[in-house]
Structures are given as C-alpha cells and as structure tokens.
Structure 1
Amino acid sequence: MKYIYSLLFVTALLTSCGGDKKKSVEDIIASDNIELIRKKKAELDATRQEISAQLKQLETKIKELDPQEKVPLITTFKTSETVFNHFIELQGSVDTKENLVIYPEFSGTLIDVYVKEGQDVTKGQLLAKIDDGGLSQQLAQLEIQRDLAKTTFERQERLWRENIGSEIQYLQTKSSYEAMNRSVDQLKDQVAKTTVRAPFSGTIDDVITEKGSVVGPGQSPLFRIVSLKNMYIETDVPERFITSVTKGKEVIVNFPVLNKEVKTKVRQAGNFINPANRTFKVEVGVDNNDGSIKPNLMAKLKINDYINENAILIPQSIISENAEGEQFVYTITEKSGELAVAKREIIKTGRTQGDYIEVTSGLKSDIEIVDEGARSVKDGQQVKILASL
C-alpha cells in the first residue's frame, strides 16, 4: 500500500513540472531567485495536499470494501476449573536407618570370622568370635558352684518348712544361692560379648578386620552391615514452607541416575529451624523392594505444598501489566461469527507451575480469553478469531 502511495506522489510531482514548470527543483534552487523558489514551493504544497486528500479517499474505500484488513488475528480458549497441585522442588540424598559399623564389646584376639563381604545375614546371626581368655572355663566352674548352692538351699528350705534348723541357716543358704546366680549371669554376659552377632537383617557390605587381629571395644571396627529395606531421603526445606510442608504430604521422587520415579509421602517434618540457613529437615520414606536404591544416591524431590480443587489456570505468556503494576488479560465480548471485541480484564494471580499460573481473582469458569495474539490487541478493539480451544 505504501508503495502505491509513493508512486502516486512521484507521478503528481512530475506532472506538476510542465512548461516553465519543467525546470527541476535543483535548477530552481541553483537560480538563487527567491520569488521563483517560493512559487515552486507553493505549487508543491498544493500538489501534496491534493494527493493527501486523494489518499484518504482511497483508504476509506479500501476499508469499506475490506473492513477486516487491519483486524488482529487471534486464537482463544475457554477457562475451566481444575485441580491445581503446586509442588516445591528440592534435592536430597538417600540414607538408611540400618547402615552400621559393628565394633566389638570385648578385648581379645579375633579367632573366627563366619561371614564374607556381600553375604546376606539375619538378625542375631553369629558373625565372629573373640578369644574369651578363659572366661568359658570360669563360667563352667561357677555354674558347678551355683548348682551346689542351689542344692544346699533347697535342702535347707525343706528343713525350714518342717521347723527343723534355724532361720539364719535358711537365710544364709538362700543368700548364697542368689549371689551365685547373679555371678553366673554376669559372667554369661561377659562371655556373650565375645561373640559378634548381626544387630539386624541385612548385607555384610565390608569385612574390615581379618581373623587373628587383636581387637578392642570402640577401637577396632569389624564389619559394616547395611539394610536396603528402611530407606529414606532427607532434605532441607526453606522456613517459609513450615506450615505447608507437613507430615503426610505427597512427594514425587526422581532418581536421575536410575531413570526412576516413585511416589511417596513426607514421613517426618522437623520442628527445629537451622539459624545458619533458615531451613528445617524433612524425611521422606522410600520403598526399595528391588534393592536398586543405594545409600547416598542423589534424588530430586517435588513436595506438594498446596492444593486448589477449583483453580483457574492460564498460560503466563498471555498476561500483560499496566503502568500501575496491575496484571491483565483480554476476554472476548460481542462475538459474532469469527469477529468479536477484546475487553481488558484486571486479574490477580497466585502460584505458578511450569508455564501456567493460578488466577485468584478477575476470572471465572467458561470465559473466552485471547491466547495467541494477546500482545497485539487493545482494549475495545475488534478481532478475528482463527481458532478457539
């Protein structure tokens, strides 16, 4: 269109230069004749006004013949209520409640190791034996003495019931027998410490000390035992979520290395806020039936902190903002076939999830909104709808 206007303007200028008027503007300027120059300018001004009037007539006729020439083309969609689940995204690492290094409770030589690395064991299973330094023989002798004390006490008790003998004899034999029982029990506890047993069912991950080594309580690690059953993930959550991230909230856990995703729940939410980073601890339980999840494995967590059962969601890309900082979108009114009028609606928004945002006020369900082309529309402008979703 601009090309046609320019062509008409040039043609008029050429037509206006006839006879004496055939002199070019450059020639007239070169003559330094002020009257001639003024006369030429007046002629060109008149020609320009005439062409401008003709152009307006042409534009009016074009709009009359094609009223949709400058109507913006848009697409629309209708709002609807949907369930909106908002998630916060965090990172954490896998741990287990049953990952333990076993130390001996008795000093001595490790005389037997009954398991090897990678072996599955059950709770209470014998893992190793430490030389007891003669405690077993002492226990056997003490048990003989206890049996004798028991026999003496039982005989004295029968006599006492038959009113034979003194009360002091009865009490002395009873005290002696009970003292021997306590001594035997104490020695049994000591002997029991010379055997190392599995504290829970799991896998021997590492045999740290070999047979024949001298070991001592709290100084010589013997085995590392790990169970992959009671797994969990621990992560730090910012304090602003302390009222929304609570026990029982839904969690989606993704393990990038395993290309695996599981759904679980918050098992425990801490009550202490770390003053150093203003976070609190959250523990998420993880099922590990196939044993693929290992301790210290990195995980990405999406914790559900907010649910709206009747949310209105719209794409963030269609929202504009005015000079006052208010957000708005365009809705469709006065619809007639493919033509309609765009109306600006001020809205307020809430949480976002991906490319969509929650509208908290300003829109209701089943309202038609401008989608593609929203940035080129003005309030009250006529638009043409290409597609409606």
Structure 2
Amino acid sequence: MKRSLFPLFAIALAVLTGCNSTDQVVVEQPLYVSTVSVDVPLKSQYRTFKGQVIPAEQTPIAFRRAGEVQHVLVKAGDIVKQGQMLAKLDDSKEKQAVNDTQAQYTLAIRQLQRGEELHDRQMISKAELDELTANKQLAEANFRYATNQLNYTRLFAPFAGKVSDVFKERFERVAIGEPVLNVYQSDNVYVRIELSDNVLAMVNPNSQNMSYKPRASFLGVDQTYVLDYLEHTSEPNEQTQTYQMYLTMAQPENEILPGTSVSVSVDMVKAGITSIDGYNIPMTALQAGNRDGEFFVWKLTGDMVTKVPVMIDQVNGEGAIVSSGVAQGDVLVNSSLRKLREGKHVDVVEKDQE
C-alpha cells in the first residue's frame, strides 16, 4: 500500500514545482555582420543608356457620346490621314432627330416669313412677331444640337499617323470618353531612356550644351541616328526611382516601330554633364527584390539597418556599379542579408573599405 502512494507523491511534487516556476525570458541572439564602406564615385566621359522607342504623341480616340459601335474602319498598324473616319456608332436615333428638328426649323422659318409680311401689313402685333422669331431661333438651336449629336457618332483622325491599338469591336457598347483606339504620329520617333537623379541633376535644357546630339543605335538596324532632346520628367518613377528623358528624331525610310530597343551613346563632356557614373559595391552587398531588375542594399546607421532600393547600371569584375540609392561614405551590410529586417540591431565583426 505504501508503494502505491509513491508515484502519486512524485506526480504531485512535479505539478507543484511547475506551478511555482517563473516564465523563462528568451534572449535574442546577437546578429554579427560584416560591412563595407562606399568609396569615391566612378566617372567616365562616355556612357551608353539603354532605352526603348515609344509612340510619338500617342492619342486615345473616344466618342463624345455613349452608344453601340456599328463599324470600326481601321485596324492596328493602319496608316490614317487627318480627318479620316475611324469608327462609327449606331446613329439611327440621331438621324431621326435631325430629320425631325430640320422639319421644325423649316416650318419655323416659313412661319416667321409669313409673320413678317402680316406685320408689315399691320395684321399681327409686334408681340406675335417676336414669338414667331423666338420659335424660329429655338427650332434652329434644336436642329444644330441634333446635327452635333449625329456628328458625335463618328470618330475622325485628329492628325495623320498610324493606329497603334484598337480596343473596341462591332456591336460593343462604349461609354462617353472611353478609348476606342490609339493613334500616334508615325513620322517621328520618340526614344525614352532612364536617368538616375545624379545624372539628371547635371542636365540643363537651357544651356548651350543641349545643342549636343547623342547617337542612337536601334536593335536590328545597322545605321546609327542623331537624336534631339525633347523633354524629361520632374518626378521619379515610383517603381524604379529613376527619371525619364525623351529624345526624338524624324522617322527614317525604313520605319522604326514602337517597342524597339535602343542604345543611346553620350559624350558626357560634350553634353556638359560631368556627373558620376555610380559607386562600385560588391555583389555580396546586394539583395534581389521580388521583381526583375529590383535590388536593395542594407545601410548601417549606428547599429541599426535600413533597407534601401538601388539602381544597377552595370556589372563588372569588381562588383556592380550602382547609380542611385547610395552615396560616398555609406556603410553597407555585407553578410547575412537574408536574416536582416527593417530597423534590426546588429553587431559589426568586420569592416572592409571598398
């Protein structure tokens, strides 16, 4: 009987011991990392910017009224002339309205003419003549309104160019202002390139150096062409954090289509741009993002890290040239990047000078 009480006594003792124990505090293990300092920027006289041909002055064409598409008279790739009809809505109601208001307008004109004759013979009063005049003006306004509504069922090319996209087909309904197709000026070539903030800061469109014309080579085209400056954006792209510059030239005999890749070669000295190319950092300091071409670095301030997006211009044997996101003197984490989180505190065990 005594032996049977011993196991119960042991269990009760274990339960009491567990109840009286204090909660254990989990201590986060320190993360040891190595770092690298960003050295002086790289500079060169010649640079090549990658870009793409975009449609010149592309304009969405839309109806000024809602309705059902009766005809689309063009397709993507068609050349159009200024004033050429591109599409048409079902206009049966509008035609009927024009006929009705035209008949009322014609009647109002004749009634006014008879009224003027009767007024000259003093057979009607001035007030009756004024009423006939007002009826004629109202009928004329209704007729012109109906005519405009009929005209709004037709789309015309605002300029000579090429159709790039057609969004609607026959029997589809469209709302007011909903694009039906896009037209762009095919006699010009627009080139868009991406610039980092340190390059754009040196660009002055009003300077004499803007007369310099860079040369462009297009994918699949043997000849190179001279480009003129057109404009650039004042706000960076939300995704790439770069600025966009637009260059232009006349369309050559062998047409260069939108979407073609292009390389723009620039003599930075002749262009008056003495900006830096970027900063050389080791590949081990770069962390890839979720999207293609997206990269980050982890900057160290004190003992805390911050994730910063960067733009890579090129990769060489010494690492990558980063054109934006870092500056001389920045300290970057060079190891254990996957273990880092925004605002995490780290301990530096090794610091290299890049």
TM range (shorter): 0.5 to 0.7
Q: State how many pairs are aligned.
A: 224
Q: What are the Cα deviations for residues 165-206 of structure 1, in whole angstroms up to 9, with x where unaligned?
A: 544333322322222222112211211122232333233456
Distance 1:86 1:164 in 2: 93
Q: What are the Cα deviations for residues 129-151 of structure 1, in whole angstroms up to 9, with x where unaligned?
A: 32223321221121111122223
- Amino acid of the structure 1 residue aligned with 2:87: A
Give the TM-score, by structure 1 length. 0.48
Question: Residue in 1 aligned with 2:192?
Answer: 234
Question: Residue in 2 aligned with 1:146?
Answer: 105
Question: Residue in 1 aligned with 2:90?
Answer: 131
- Equivalent residues in 2 for 1:158-237, closer than 5 Å: 165-205=124-164, 209-211=168-170, 213-217=171-175, 222-237=180-195
Distance 2:175 2:238 in 1: 37
Q: What are the Cα deviations for residues 36-91 of structure 1, in whole angstroms up to 9, with x where unaligned?
A: xxxxxxxxxxxxxxxxxxxxxxxxxxxxxxxxxxxxxxxxxxxxxxxxx9444322
Cα pair distance change 1:172/1:95, threshold 3 Å? same
Which structure 2 segments of 5+ residues have no match? 1-43, 273-354
Q: What are the Cα deviations for residues 286-321 of structure 1, in whole angstroms up to 9, with x where unaligned?
A: 221325211121111134543399xxxxxxxxxxxx
- Equivalent residues in 2 for 1:1-389, closer than 5 Å: 86-100=45-59, 102-115=61-74, 118-156=77-115, 165-205=124-164, 209-211=168-170, 213-217=171-175, 222-242=180-200, 244-247=202-205, 248-249=210-211, 250-273=213-236, 279-307=242-270
When the two chains are superposed, the root-mean-square deviation of aligned CA atoms in Å is 3.6
Q: Is the 8 A contact 1:146 1:181 kept in 2?
A: yes
Distance 1:204 1:274 in 2: 27
Distance 1:201 1:294 in 2: 16
Which structure 1 segments of 5+ residues have no match? 1-84, 310-389
Distance 2:267 2:233 in 1: 17
- Displacement of 1:164 in angstroms is 7.4
Q: Is the 8 A contact 1:232 1:285 kept in 2?
A: yes
Distance 2:271 2:145 in 1: 63
Secondary structure at the aligned position of 1:134 is classed as: helix
Distance 2:201 2:254 in 1: 34
Cα pair distance change 1:266/1:204, threshold 3 Å? closer
Q: Which has the higher contact order (CA 8 A, sep 6+)?
A: 2
Distance 2:232 2:136 in 1: 54
Q: Is the 8 A contact 1:101 1:223 kept in 2?
A: yes
Distance 1:129 1:263 in 2: 41
Distance 1:204 1:122 in 2: 11
Cα pair distance change 1:162/1:107, threshold 3 Å? same
Question: Residue in 2 aligned with 1:5?
Answer: none
Q: What are the Cα deviations for residues 91-122 of structure 1, in whole angstroms up to 9, with x where unaligned?
A: 22111234455444444444444445544321
Return the structure number with greater helix share. 1
% identity of equivalent residues: 19
Give the TM-score, by structure 2 length. 0.52
Q: Which protein is bigger by CA-based radius of gyration?
A: 1
- Amino acid of the structure 1 residue aligned with 2:204: T
